[in-house]
Amino acid sequence: MAKPNLIKGARTNAALILNEVVVQQRSLNTALAHYLPQVDEKDRGFCQQLCYSSLRYYPTLQFIVHQLIKKPFKAKDKDIEQLLILGILQLRFLNTPDHAAISETVDASKKLKKVWAGGLLNACLRNYLRQQEQINQKLLANEPANYAHPSWLLNLYQHDWPENWQRITEANNKQPPMMLRVNQQKVSREAYLQQLESQQIAASIIEATEYGILLDQPCDVFKLPGFEQGLVSVQDGSAQLATSILNIKLGQRVLDACAAPGGKTCHILETSPDNDVTAIDISADRLLQIQQNTDRLGLHARLVAADAAETNNWWDGQTFDRILIDAPCTGSGVIRRHPDIKLLRHPEDIDTLASKQQALLDNLWPLLKADGLMVYTTCSAFKKENEQQIEAFLQRHPDAEEVKLSSAPATPRPFGYQRLPGDDVMDGFYYACLRRK
């Protein structure tokens, strides 16, 4: 039998990856892991760029496609629609020369064994170039297409942040910067900056954080000095602040309730490596990622695969000094890092997630020692998951009080602290610190 017939091109694979996300509703990371290995190594960066950028602008690109085609694509030809989306992306947002964008897109349809689509793709892309002006006029009149967000998502931002929603959506469409957390057990931030400098990696400190570094350009982790030896981890500054406000002290028993992939678990342990730290995640597969991270950094946590909210399945009856709930959420604060959220989240998710968040808060609260701290965080920008969630929690639990932090991790709200996308260089994030009286 011959070797499997792998389709190698960046554009063809990007179309297949988009189809997995858009049609099969799989996460971009899952789809990339499946298709990227068959792309020639030199084309993988471009393939990834095509996927991220097209998802970032999907509502805009899809609107344009609808202006160019007479009837919708059949279900089995959605891959051709993805190729058209990618073609327009290249013409409109990337620096691909027009002739290359068109001929390569036509070529990719042959690799998908759909030679019939070549003429259609060619005609649509050329029509786009001719009709750009009229299309741009129509775009301005259509908010979801103009701001590149599905209308339900746009409505929620507009409802919660009538003053800021345009800045939020603009920030969501930008490429995110790469940030690092220096492992304080191994090296100081200043010393590590020098190591980066000696490797010609331009970087600066993130003032708001204790151990954060901002890279000028994203970079392969294995090119970072001492990455494999655990000198640094990749983590946005916003997430680093979550651990800072936990105020970890030596000898404490700590619970990280929704821990995977383990960034905050590791940060907690770097702060105080001998602490008794329990890291829980609902997915056993994702628990492996925590293990890989603690192994690389030379740290140890107790790992449990469970739904943290179902405490009778995993809790040993010993209370905790600190509990971190980095709750599952819509991710509406980190869309720049996960543009597939625009296609994978649906309006009904927000209620499901809010009740999940409430269950975590209510069920884990009794596990906290008197005078202990519970930190609740999300990477959401929606009030229902954040300040309204905490307001309702404080009403239900008279033995809980909010701790007002002397150095605020983000903009103070009536309850907790909110960073919106675009407020600064870091991810959108929400924080609330609660003390048990």
Can residue 370 be called a binding residue for other proteins (CB under 8 A)?
no
Nearest approach in angstroms of CB 44 to other proteins is 17
Binding residue per annotation — 230? Answer: no
Can residue 75 be called a binding residue for other proteins (CB under 8 A)?
no
Helix (H) or strand (E) holding 100: helix 98-111
Binding residue per annotation — 258? Answer: yes
3-state SS, one letter per residue, for 170-228: HHHCCCCCCEEEECCCCCCHHHHHHHHHHCCCCEEECCCCCCEEEECCCCCHHHCCCCC
Residues marked as catalytic:
379
Could you tell me how many residues of this chain bind other proteins (CB under 8 A)? Answer: 5
Binding residue per annotation — 263? Answer: yes
Is there a contact between 202 and 217 (Cβ–Cβ < 8 Å)? Answer: yes
Query: Site map for other proteins, 5-34, x if CB under 8 A?
Result: x-----------------------------
Q: Which is nearer to other proteins, 6 or 221 (CB)?
A: 6
Question: Does the N-terminal peptide bond of residue 366 adopt cis geometry, omega within 30 degrees of 0?
Answer: no
Residue 399, judged by CB atoms within 10 A of its CB (0-12, 13-18, 19+), counts as: exposed
Residues of this chain, 192-211, that bind other proteins according to CB under 8 A: none
Q: Which is nearer to other proteins, 2 or 140 (CB)?
A: 2
Which among 2-10, 76-84, 232-240, 418-426 is the span making contact with other proteins, rule CB under 8 A? 2-10
Q: Which is nearer to other proteins, 3 or 404 (CB)?
A: 3
Q: Which residues have a Cβ under 8 Å from the Cβ of 378 and sit 6 or more positions away?
A: 326, 327, 329, 333, 357, 385, 386, 429, 430
Binding residue per annotation — 162? Answer: no
Nearest approach in angstroms of CB 5 to other proteins is 4
Nearest approach in angstroms of CB 295 to other proteins is 25
Q: Measure the N-to-C terminal CA separation of the chain; round to a whole number of Å.
A: 70
Report CA-CA distances (Å) from 298 to 65, 295, 301, 332. 51, 5, 10, 33
Nearest approach in angstroms of CB 287 to other proteins is 26
Q: Which is nearer to other proteins, 2 or 141 (CB)?
A: 2
Tell me how far apart the alpha carbons of residues 352 and 231 are, in angstroms, rounded to a whole number: 38
Which among 3-11, 48-56, 277-285, 322-330 is the span making contact with other proteins, rule CB under 8 A? 3-11
Spatial CA neighbour of 368 closest among 405, 324, 403: 324
Nearest approach in angstroms of CB 292 to other proteins is 22
Residue 61, judged by CB atoms within 10 A of its CB (0-12, 13-18, 19+), counts as: buried
Binding residue per annotation — 124? Answer: no
DSSP conformation letters of 59-94: HHHHHHHHHH-SSPPPGGGHHHHHHHHHHHHHHHTS
Binding residue per annotation — 261? Answer: yes
Count of positions (residues) in the chain: 437
Can residue 3 be called a binding residue for other proteins (CB under 8 A)?
yes
Nearest approach in angstroms of CB 74 to other proteins is 19
Query: Tell me, what amino acid is at 418?
Result: Q
Q: Which is nearer to other proteins, 6 or 191 (CB)?
A: 6
Q: Which is nearer to other proteins, 112 or 135 (CB)?
A: 112
Residue stretches of the annotated binding site for S-adenosyl-L-methionine = 258-264, 281, 307, 326
Binding site for other proteins (CB under 8 A): 1-5
